[in-house]
Amino acid sequence: MTQDDLVAAYSVPNRHYHNLRHIEDCLGLLAGIDDLSATDREILTQAIWWHDVVYDPTRSDNEELSAQLAEQHVAAEFRREVGPADPSDQDASGRAR
């Protein structure tokens, strides 16, 4: 999936909130954060682009499907950060360790 594909996915007319405007707003907020390493900035940028790329209003697993798709397409060094949560990496409350 290319950057153009991501833009197209977020530009579909039936999206009400998780649309291209939302992505642009999130990226704008990220740009205003100064104290990030280049790696952290890239991880957050990828997470923003992929967090809800799958959108089907009849389903409740859009974010999980989006994370699975991200895991297939982002650079290998970022897959663990933006892909689906690995249950073995969570504590008893479900939070990442």
Which two structure tokens, joined as six digits, stand for 74?
């982002």
Q: How many domains does the chain have?
A: 1
Output helix, strand, coil percentages for the chain, rounded to the nearest 5. Answer: 55, 0, 40
Is residue 76 situated within a structural domain? yes
Is residue 50 situated within a structural domain? yes
Which two structure tokens, joined as six digits, stand for 43?
């991880």
Domain membership of residue 74 as a residue range: 3-89
Is residue 95 situated within a structural domain? no
Is residue 67 situated within a structural domain? yes
Q: What is the DSSP letter of 36?
A: -
Q: Whole-angstrom distance between the N-terminal and C-terminal Cα of the chain?
A: 30
Is residue 97 situated within a structural domain? no
Is residue 96 situated within a structural domain? no
Per-residue pLDDT, 7: 96
* Band of pLDDT at residue 36, cut at 50, 70 and 90: very high
pLDDT value at 93 more than 80: no
In order of 46, 49, 58, 60, 63, the CA distances from 39 in angstroms are 11, 15, 35, 31, 23
